[in-house]
């Protein structure tokens, strides 16, 4: 087992089959946290021996998601660290060499059984309600015959010859003592007839050669671990410490999948979730912080994280909670940082900001002023435009907006006229002054202030939801505010 004074080496070993999944991101993050906590190294190993097409695309998407999250690696396919290559597709010779060493030592043997015949055997057994176990037909093959088969070019796989009736035990950090008797396993294939290794063989060989001290991965691999331990034992390698992370379930208690909504980090990025919020939330999936608290800075997570505190109870992925964590993170964004995002969004989503003359300069100033108004209101960054469009775009009034005040028994025209007259006399167009004067006006007219402001809101925003109005008016400026109030007044008049 990895001893405590040894430098920690952990790995994240994805098979690039597409985007980075929430579950894999949590595995990567827990490895990263553990490495950062212990001053160890995180290795990014690419398990790509089986990959057909689209490998590079998947790899790019995976690594860019990791980078976006801020999960950095110390060694990997793009950062040589003395234990490479880090792509399994470039290590085929290594696996073949170890497999043949095992054959030479009598710990593995070539198997000439065709996949078709094995399939038939498997189906027959399953029909009888039994589980398939390789019958060791080729183990009893005369060595001379085996050698002849090989030299004739007959395809063969390599199987590990398991010791009989031996108990394989290990202590998983999370799941505790686990034992499996080799009688319940079969001589599994380590090298396929196409020369490529199976996952259990290549993972164990690489973990050993890359001097991995702690294997931290999903619970779905728990049943593979005894097989990998057998590979370690047969090759005479020291075992790492194994830590399996509990499953992540969807809200209905089933394994998290696309059925439950987005499961890729890319999708959450597009939905305007902050990377810090994702990491913060992922940390809570399977790990219980020492105190009742949910919002953690990444540094705090590094400080508090203890691998022993991971629990085995499956975690439930709760999108509402992620949104809540995200809104907390948005609230703590610096004004400048949010303003920068607003500038980018406006440039991307609005053709020509109509309300802005000197628009580049104006946009920066406006965004700085707008950021504090929406920071507490948005749960994801992608809600931003819903709140701020009318700062940059013309407003138009829907039938609904036009009819809004019919029901409310408010004389909208009266409110608008009074406000226009009042605005005209205002010397200093700031939110404080605006508020005082509007309150005064409402009192004079004996209109409830909520109703009074509702008229102004629809006039300025075209809807009855907007950022705080006095500040909004200040940012729009006197001219544009006046223009919109008159425009709404005219529209109402033309209707009656
Ligand atoms: N390539 C495997 C996977 O993505 C790695 C499992 C492991 O960490 O050993 O599931």
Q: How far is CA 182 from the centre of its chain?
A: 38
In whole angstroms, what is the distance from residue 244 CA to residue 30 CA? 11
258 is catalytic: yes
Looking at the CA of residue 224, tell me the nearest atom of ligand 1: 9
Which residues of the chain, if any, have pLDDT below 70?
1-5, 53-54, 352-359, 407-408, 496
How many angstroms does the Cα of residue 12 sit away from the middle of ligand 1?
8
Nearest to 11 by CA among 41, 37, 48: 41
Helix (H, G, I), strand (E, B) or coil at 410: coil
- Which residues contact ligand 1 via a Cβ below 6 A? 13-15, 47, 203, 217, 221
What does the pLDDT read at residue 27?
98
Q: For residue 108, what is the enclosing H or E element?
A: strand 108-111
Nearest protein CA to atom 10 of ligand 1, as residue: 14
What does the pLDDT read at residue 1?
45
Q: How far is CA 19 from the centre of its chain?
A: 10
What does the pLDDT read at residue 292?
74
Structure tokens at 255: 């394994």
In whole angstroms, what is the distance from residue 359 CA to residue 40 CA? 49
Cβ neighbours of residue 145 under 8 Å, at least 6 residues apart?
A: none
What does the pLDDT read at residue 353?
58
Nearest protein CA to atom 3 of ligand 1, as residue: 14
Strand pairing report for 189-191 and 157-160 = antiparallel
Structure tokens at 248: 């992540």
* Partners of residue 242 on adjacent β-strands: 215
What does the pLDDT read at residue 398?
87
Say how many Å lie between the first and final Cα of the chain, rounded: 84
Question: Ligand 1, residues 11, 24, 199: which to mutate, most atoms within 8 A of Cβ?
Answer: 199
Nearest to 155 by CA among 196, 106, 124: 196
What does the pLDDT read at residue 402?
76
What does the pLDDT read at residue 359?
66
Q: Residue 485: what are its φ and ψ, rounded to 5°? A: -65, -45
What does the pLDDT read at residue 216?
98
How many angstroms does the Cα of residue 14 sit away from the middle of ligand 1?
6
Average pLDDT, the chain: 93
**Candidate list 258, 313, 321, 361, residue with the active-site label:** 258
What does the pLDDT read at residue 290?
80
Cβ neighbours of residue 467 under 8 Å, at least 6 residues apart?
A: 370, 373, 374, 377, 387, 388
Looking at the CA of residue 13, tell me the nearest atom of ligand 1: 5
Q: Residue 177: what are its φ and ψ, rounded to 5°? A: -70, 130
For the CA atoms of the chain, what is the radius of gyration? 32
């Amino acid at each position: 087992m990895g001893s405590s004074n040894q430098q920690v080496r952990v790995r994240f070993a994805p098979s690039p089959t597409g985007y980075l999944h929430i579950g894999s991101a949590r595995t990567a993050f827990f490895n990263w946290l553990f490495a950062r906590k212990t001053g160890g190294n995180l290795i990014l190993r690419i398990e790509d021996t089986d990959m057909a097409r689209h490998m590079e695309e998947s790899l790019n998407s995976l690594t860019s998601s990791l980078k976006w999250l801020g999960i950095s690696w110390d060694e990997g396919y793009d950062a040589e660290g003395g234990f490479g290559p880090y792509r399994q597709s470039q290590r085929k010779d290594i696996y073949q060499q170890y497999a043949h060493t095992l054959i030479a030592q009598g710990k593995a043997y070539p198997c000439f059984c065709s996949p078709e015949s094995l399939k038939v055997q498997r189906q027959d057994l399953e029909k009888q309600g039994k589980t398939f176990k390789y019958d060791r037909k080729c183990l009893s093959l005369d060595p001379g015959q085996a050698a002849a088969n090989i030299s004739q070019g007959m395809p063969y796989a390599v199987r590990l010859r398991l010791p009989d009736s031996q108990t394989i035990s290990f202590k998983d950090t999370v799941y505790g003592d686990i034992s499996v008797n080799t009688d319940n396993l079969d001589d599994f294939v380590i090298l396929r007839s196409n020369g490529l290794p199976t996952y259990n063989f290549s993972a164990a060989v690489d973990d050993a050669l890359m001097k991995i001290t702690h294997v931290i991965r999903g619970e779905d691999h728990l049943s593979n671990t005894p097989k990998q331990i057998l590979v370690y034992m047969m090759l005479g390698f020291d075992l790492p410490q194994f830590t399996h992370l509990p499953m992540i379930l969807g809200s209905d208690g089933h394994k998290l999948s696309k059925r439950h909504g987005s499961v890729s980090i890319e999708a959450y990025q597009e939905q305007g979730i902050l990377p810090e919020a994702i990491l913060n939330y992922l940390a809570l999936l399977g790990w219980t912080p020492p105190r009742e608290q949910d919002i953690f800075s990444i540094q705090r997570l590094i400080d508090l994280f203890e691998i022993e505190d991971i629990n085995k109870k499956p975690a439930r992925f709760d999108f509402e909670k992620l949104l809540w964590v995200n809104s907390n993170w948005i609230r703590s964004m610096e004004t400048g940082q949010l303003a920068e995002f607003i500038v980018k969004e406006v440039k991307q989503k609005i053709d020509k900001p109509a309300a802005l003359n000197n628009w580049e300069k104006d946009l920066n100033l406006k965004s700085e002023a707008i950021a504090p108004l929406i920071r507490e209101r948005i749960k994801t960054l992608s809600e931003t435009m819903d709140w701020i469009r009318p700062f940059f775009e013309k407003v138009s009034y829907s039938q609904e907006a036009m009819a809004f005040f019919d029901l409310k028994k408010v004389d909208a025209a009266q409110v608008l006229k009074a406000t226009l007259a009042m605005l005209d006399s205002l010397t200093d167009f700031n939110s404080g002054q605006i508020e005082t004067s509007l309150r005064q006006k409402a009192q004079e007219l004996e209109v409830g202030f909520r109703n009074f402001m509702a008229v102004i809101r629809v006039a300025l925003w075209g809807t009855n939801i907007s950022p705080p109005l006095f500040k909004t008016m200040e940012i729009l400026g006197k001219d544009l505010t006046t223009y919109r109030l008159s425009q709404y007044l005219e529209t109402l008049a033309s209707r009656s």
